[in-house]
Amino acid sequence: MDPTFLSATQLADLVRTREIGALELLDHFITRTENHDPRINAVVVRDFDRARTRARQLDSQSDKSAPFFGVPMTAKESFDIEGLPSTRGHMAAKDAPVRKSSIAIRRLQAAGAVLFGKTNVPVDLADWQSYNPVYGATANPWNTDHTPGGSSGGSAAAVAAGLTGMDIGSDIGGSIRVPAHYCGIYGHKPTYALLPNYGDPTTSSAAGTDISVIGPMARSSADLAVALDILAGPDPDETAMTMVLPPPRFTSLKELRVAVWAEQPGQATDQETTARLLELADALQREGATVSRTARPAFDATEAYHLYLRLLDAGWSGRSTEDVIARKRQRAAALAADDHSADAIMMRMVDVTHRAWLGLNEKRFQWRRAWSAFFREWDVLLCPVIATAAMPHRQDGETWDRKITIDGKQIAYNDQLFWPGLTGGYHLPATAAPMGTTKAGLPLGVQIVGPIYGDRSTIEAAALLEQGWMGFKPPPGW
């Protein structure tokens, strides 16, 4: 059996039943990486020797019950792995290996995973492209003229191309969901703070970043469910408390109450994306699901989106250098009063006071409760992941200077933040799952959103769609 495009749980079963050894499986993915990664440049940090030592140890181990036993995996470059650098795209950190692995990495290793490399990112994890001065640019295996997304773009590309058994990414503005959508794989953005990720104190924040989360990226929904069990729960260095997530609210499509939000006035969304999502809604209705195409939470969507943008800019402002802050101040001062683009809204946050932020946070939690009320009536919400399928590569200056064209209309590059932010900004779990392809052959994904701590429900909905609608398909030629 060719293991290339099997799920991580299937790979673990192969090793567990001794149909293949852990070292033999690892060497299969290392060989694929050496032979095929030059086409996309996804696995940019390689740790093959230590991985082989680890695989040999697993092969000699009698207890093979760990859920990801012997599964070769990669991780987003920003995750701390002892002995490897975490550059986040900065050349100054290239030769500075960290001394302690992130909690998530340690939990995956305890679950039997064999980490053999790290995957590419944009500088400071702040783009839907994945390129940086340290490791160069990563391409989409479906069409190498297009981006795999960002910031977990290398992760998605490696999983889709069959270079790794699974990966793990992070998300503040769609950075798990968008690459999963662009590359035709599964990705889960969990409820905020459910999956801790503290690592080396010199490279990771003890406080974390508002909105930002980590989560698994894989070729099946089953892998997301297993990874959630492994990765969820408080940092054991802080507390011995454990957490039990509620089970899925449904077990079949007939039990499913689903709201569909396929488009939003004033927010550009590609017609192919909208049409495919409405086709999915029709199919769910035929299967007996209760479907609404008009149900919405009780707030103004544009105001909620703008609030997310303000919180996003405040959240990642700690990454900004003094030079970037100075340029943002200059741009903010020159903005027209009627400029309500995403960039303008974020630019105006450059010198926000803590008191003002507290007011924004209070409004966020009020609307988070509105989301909770909405999800008392509906099990999941289906909506686009982002405005289009994978874009061509864009490496022209700052993101706030770029424009893209959607169905003949030019918009600002960062005005695509509506769909990622409307859900992510309110700490909701969301699973990205394959939904189809465009006429040009690029993947389309659906964003499956659920209530706070409803992670099992969004992943279960992805599993039902995987069985009844569409699952992962390898990109042609891989």
Tokens of 219: 């070729």
Angle between helices 455-468 and 221-231 (to 10 degrees): 160
Token match 């492994």: residue? 230
Rounded to whole angstroms, the Cα distance separating 365 from 350 reads 22
Amino acid making up residue 5: F
3-state secondary structure of 381: strand
Instruction: Give the DSSP per-residue string, 59-112.
Output: HT-S---STTTT-EEEEETTS--TTSB--TT-GGGTT-B-SS--HHHHHHHHTT
Rounded to whole angstroms, the Cα distance separating 376 from 391 reads 36
Rounded to whole angstroms, the Cα distance separating 350 from 86 reads 27
CB proximity list for 130: less than 8 A, separation 6 or greater:
120, 121, 122, 137, 138, 147, 148, 149, 150, 151, 152, 153, 154, 157, 179
CB proximity list for 61: less than 8 A, separation 6 or greater:
none
Contact 379, 249 (CB under 8 A): yes
- The residues pairing with 46 across neighbouring beta strands, listed in sequence order, are 117
Rounded to whole angstroms, the Cα distance separating 132 from 122 reads 5
Q: How far is CA 114 from the centre of its chain?
A: 21
CB proximity list for 406: less than 8 A, separation 6 or greater:
268, 269, 270, 387, 388
The H or E element that residue 434 is part of is: strand 430-437
Residues labelled as active-site residues: 76, 151, 175
User: Longest C-alpha distance within the chain, in Å?
Assistant: 68
Q: Are β-strands 167-171 and 186-189 bridged in parallel, bridged antiparallel, or unpaired?
A: unpaired
- The number of beta carbons lying within 10 Å of the beta carbon of residue 474 is 15
3-class SS string, 116-139: EEEECCCHHHCCCCCEECCCEECC
